[in-house]
Amino acid sequence: MKKLLAAAVALSALAACNQQQATETEAAPAVQLYAMDCGRATFPNVDMFADDGSFAGQSRELIVPCYLIRHPEGDLIWDTGFPDAVAAMPGGRRELPEMGATVVMRASLQSQLAQLDLTPADIEFVSFSHQHGDHTGNGNLFAGSTWLVDPEERAYMFSEEARGGQAFAGYSQLENAQTRLIESDAYDVFGDGSVKIFQAPGHTPGHTVLLVQLPNAGAVLLTGDMYHLAESRERRTVPRFNTDREQTLQSMDRVEEIGHAANARVIRQHVIEDFDSLPRFPEALN
């Protein structure tokens, strides 16, 4: 009888342990993707976004997003938008005469993170699709995070030419940040295949794209500046200011292969329709 009682107690304890583990598993956060509005830029003339002249004289508004990917092993910020200082300007408005554009930023990146009870110090990883100031404007906020970067892009970002540019002030403190170099075609951020950074050079020397595998929504491919306008993907237009035209076209092919293989939802990051198709922050896609 005592043996039976001991066995029953043992089984009960095992069941309780299994139940606790199951509850913890259910409570564990799944991978989630948050899309934040980090500015909008209005261009009276988007001729610069196609070197064949096909966009000359057309006006467009482009979204400048920031993305937060939440994973059980940590958080990743992908692209950091325009500097938060723009949101503090009168009307959240800033003129960019060098680009012929007007920027409006309604809310800072920090204030949006605060809606999730996060500060930049809470973010484990930061990565940019590339160096340009509408993607790295708040880079210094994450100088305490681990920076994931293509080695050629890092060299480009700290070249003498880049140091003299307007974008440099937004990310200069990352020069001494803890850094992991993306030295292969694909970098698995968390080691489980759920978040991967792929090399896609041409727009800049070390431009990258991000593939996120979500438990319910499936794969989402964030394409950086592969495609600026809604027509850019289909027409395969190359911006006038890209660093390498042939590399850009090769990367377009590679990005399409990645998206097809993953059956991914392709997000053209500057296209407002693509941004608006994602859940409105602070809701998440999961």
The residue assigned the tokens 């190359």 is: 238
- Residue 99 confidence (pLDDT): 84
Higher pLDDT, 138 or 15: 138
Residue 127 reports pLDDT greater than 60:
yes
Residues 6+ apart with CB under 8 A from 224: 79, 129, 130, 135, 200, 203, 207, 208, 209, 210, 269
Report yes or no: 138 and 81 within 8 Å, Cβ to Cβ: yes
For residue 6, pLDDT beyond 50: no
Residue 17 has pLDDT above 80, yes or no: no
Q: Are 227 and 233 in contact (CB under 8 A)?
A: yes
pTM (two decimals) = 0.90
Read off the pLDDT band of 251 (50, 70, 90).
very high
Q: What's the pLDDT score for residue 202?
A: 98
Per-residue confidence (pLDDT) for residue 137, from 0 to 100: 98
For the beta carbon of residue 160, count every other beta carbon within 10 angstroms. 6
Q: Which of 11-15, 111-115, 139-143 has the lowest mean pLDDT?
A: 11-15
pLDDT class of 29 with cuts at 50, 70, 90: low
The average pLDDT across 221-226 equals 98
User: Is residue 213 predicted with pLDDT exceeding 70?
Assistant: yes
Angstrom distance (rounded) from CA 265 to CA 211:
10
At 228, which amino acid appears? H
Domains and CATH numbers, the chain: 30-276 (3.60.15.10)
Per-residue b or e along 6-43, where b marks 16 or more CB atoms closer than 10 Å to that residue's CB: eeeeeeeeeeeeeeeeeeeeeeeeebbbbbbbbbbbeb
- Does residue 129 contact residue 79 with C-beta atoms inside 8 Å? yes
- CB neighbour list of residue 3: distance below 8 Å, 6 or more residues apart: none
**pLDDT band for position 24 (50/70/90)?**
very low
Digit-coded pLDDT (tens) for 182-208? 999 999 999 999 999 999 999 999 999
Tokens of 43: 């261009």
Identity of the residue numbered 167: A
227 bridge partner residues: none
CA distance 119 to 72: 17
What is the spatial distance between Cα 254 and Cα 270, in angstroms, rounded to a whole number? 20
> pLDDT of 81-126, one tens digit each?
999 999 999 999 999 998 889 999 999 999 999 999 999 999 999 9
What pLDDT, in 10s, does the model give residues 105-117?
Answer: 999 999 999 999 9
pLDDT the model gives residue 98: 83
pLDDT of residue 2: 37
- Whether 15 has a pLDDT exceeding 90, the answer reads no
